[in-house]
């Protein structure tokens, strides 16, 4: 077994044994060193966004003191859901290695498949003009970090 995936599996086991959430563990690696780790904490935190990948990204960013994880690789026990994949891309992580796929996740009772196939019919534009004002304010700031 790959040594970094083994750490991700251990993270997942620690999380499920502690009752924190599902079997999702993750590590982030840069230059051969683990710089962040996490496991699913949805139940522990009462927060549906506390997936293993998100927790590992938080850990890596805190440890490196940056929001830019360029040059990093991520190892996770399951194929990232769309939320996590978006976070991975926002963090500039260059490569993702996953163990179980979406069908495996479905088999144990998680509904990830739904988010890949159903359109977001819950979206509705509202008060665009007022929201654009704050966008324009941000656009006009001289020394900003756009992300």
Q: Which residues are known catalytic residues?
A: 53
Structural contact between residues 19 and 69, judged by C-beta atoms closer than 8 angstroms: no
How far is Cα 28 from Cα 59, in angstroms, rounded to an integer?
9
**Maximum separation of any 2 CA atoms in the chain, in Å:** 53
């Amino acid at each position: 077994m790959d040594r970094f995936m083994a750490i991700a599996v251990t993270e997942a086991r620690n999380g499920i044994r502690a009752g924190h959430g599902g079997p999702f563990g993750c590590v982030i690696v840069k230059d051969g060193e683990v710089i962040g780790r996490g496991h699913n904490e949805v139940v522990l935190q009462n927060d549906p966004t506390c997936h293993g990948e998100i927790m590992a990204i938080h850990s890596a960013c805190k440890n490196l003191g940056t929001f830019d994880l360029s040059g990093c690789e991520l190892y996770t026990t399951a194929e990232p859901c769309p939320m996590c994949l978006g976070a991975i891309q926002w963090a500039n992580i260059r490569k993702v290695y996953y163990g179980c796929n979406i069908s495996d996740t479905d088999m144990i009772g998680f509904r990830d498949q739904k988010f890949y196939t159903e359109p977001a019919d819950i979206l509705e534009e509202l008060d665009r003009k007022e929201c654009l004002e704050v966008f324009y304010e941000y656009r006009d700031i001289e020394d900003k970090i756009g992300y």
